[in-house]
Chains A and B, each alone.
Chain A
Amino acid sequence: MKLDRAALLDRLAADHALGLLPPNAARRFEHVLREQPTARAASHAWERRLARLYDVLPPVAPSSDSWTAIATRTGAPPALFRPRSPARVFTWRGLVAASVGGALLVGLVVRMAPDAVISLDDFARHEQRLPQGHVGVLTDARGLPVAVAGAPRQGTRLTLNFITRVPTPPDKALQLWVVPRGRAPFALGALPSQTANDGGRVQLELGAPADSLFADQPRLAISVEAGPIHDGGKPAAFILEGPCVPLR
């Protein structure tokens, strides 16, 4: 029996929805789905039909760990979940994709809250204009600034000011990271939890001048870690993240 095109698509869609296609065939069909609206329609129809057959299963409540794991893997622990302003449409993911937006945000924070931007004295004593240096704004999951980092261009000390509190479990520590473009993150240092909890200020000694560490305009990020990070260590999920840009 030779199937017409619609019947063949319907059969493939059914097999795909039920998980019967071998991996290679499934990949090929997924390519077809991306290209052809009729294939997508057939696939959605089968997904809708099969989903109804699960209505009979009695619900099973997940453990509380599941939500915590999801929150961590999607970039924000539950403690950071707060109501979103309806007018605000930025997310931290949007900021990841928009370095220009990041630079604007840095500028905005610098102008709106100059005291939050660290070590103006370190940058350029007695100067009225913004000094040369590197500034990073770390935002939470809603895209709101939580901490501002800065270092003079040739300086080896970075200052981090927390604008708002970052609740940290007593047995965990915050860790600051540099996330270079296209390379693995590396740790800059652990932050005293008390500092973040109080919305305070902390200084970290850098292993090299800021100009060389931040040459490729990397991102800065903060994770919550269970223990100290050794050389080459990998971060847990980032809870705060943002661009680090030069101020010229």
Chain B
Amino acid sequence: MTTSADLQHALERVAIGDRDAFKRVYDATSAHLLAIALRLLNRRDLAERALQDTFVAVWQQARSYPSDALPPMAWLVTILRRKALDRSRRQPHAALADHATPPDAADVLDDAIALIGCTEDWRALSVTHRRAFAWALYDGMSAHDIARRLNLPVSTVRAGLRRALAHLKQRLDKTS
């Protein structure tokens, strides 16, 4: 099992061009990152390309990894999310549906919240806010996309997302 410290050390090696360390980072994290990309893009080919974009960026930007401020996996997930959203927003939405229907984002978020251990608090938010946040987080939907789906003004959606974020901030910081 690769610990966060192992990954951090490996990324420091990647920063000086160590390809073995680069492969170790890939082996330890690519399956998790691909799961996120697949969730965001819902298409295997695009997800694999987003994963590749991510590791090319890691190779190029490892020197700028803020090891004192961000755990390695959080840094990798951040890069992956940006690469996946870039690809997602370049594709027409109709083209993004793959054969398999992924689990509902709200259910995935409920599981994640349960894993963190703050289900009770989370349920205090309205179902609409929870769903909107889940769509943004797991399906990569913009506030406009969510507003269209819920038939609500964008400003209302943004306010709801901010409420969900504020709620999560308190709970996640308590349990970290």
Residues of B within 8 A of A15 (CB): 161-162
Residues of B within 8 A of A48 (CB): 70-71, 74, 176
Residues of B within 8 A of A14 (CB): 162, 165, 169
Residues of B within 8 A of A61 (CB): 30-31, 34
Contact at A19–B19, with CB atoms within 8 Å?
A: no
A69-B115 Cα distance, complex, nearest whole Å: 35
* Segment of A52-60, A103-111, A117-125, A207-215 engaged in the interface with chain B: A52-60
Q: Fill in one digit per residue for B146-159: 1 if any A CB lies within 8 Å of its CB, else 0.
A: 00000000000010
Question: Any chain A CB within 8 A of the CB of B98?
Answer: no
A142-B18 Cα distance, complex, nearest whole Å: 8
Question: Any chain B CB within 8 A of the CB of A112?
Answer: no
Question: Any chain B CB within 8 A of the CB of A20?
Answer: yes
Contact at B56–A74, with CB atoms within 8 Å?
A: yes
Query: In the complex, how many angstroms separate the beta carbon of B119 from the nearest chain A beta carbon?
Result: 13
Query: In the complex, how many angstroms separate the beta carbon of B130 from the nearest chain A beta carbon?
Result: 12
Residues of B within 8 A of A83 (CB): 20
Question: Any chain B CB within 8 A of the CB of A65?
Answer: yes
Contact at A47–B35, with CB atoms within 8 Å?
A: no
A91-B15 Cα distance, complex, nearest whole Å: 10
Question: Any chain A CB within 8 A of the CB of B11?
Answer: no
Question: Any chain A CB within 8 A of the CB of B8?
Answer: no
Q: A56-B115, A58-B35, A61-B31 are in contact. List 5 more A-B contacts (CB 8 A).
A: A20-B158, A53-B109, A57-B39, A89-B17, A141-B17
B→A interface (CB under 8 Å): 16-20, 22-23, 26, 30-32, 34-36, 38-39, 47-48, 51-52, 55-56, 59-60, 66, 69-71, 73-75, 77-78, 81-82, 85, 108-109, 111-113, 115-116, 136-137, 140, 142-143, 158, 161-162, 165, 168-169, 172-173, 176
Can you spell out 25 A-B residue pairs with CB atoms less than 8 angstroms apart? A14-B165, A18-B161, A19-B142, A47-B74, A50-B81, A52-B112, A52-B172, A52-B176, A53-B137, A53-B168, A54-B77, A55-B112, A57-B39, A58-B35, A60-B35, A60-B38, A63-B48, A66-B30, A66-B34, A66-B48, A66-B52, A70-B59, A81-B20, A84-B18, A141-B19
A→B interface (CB under 8 Å): 11, 14-15, 17-20, 40-41, 44, 46-63, 65-67, 69-70, 73-74, 76, 81, 83-84, 89-94, 141-143
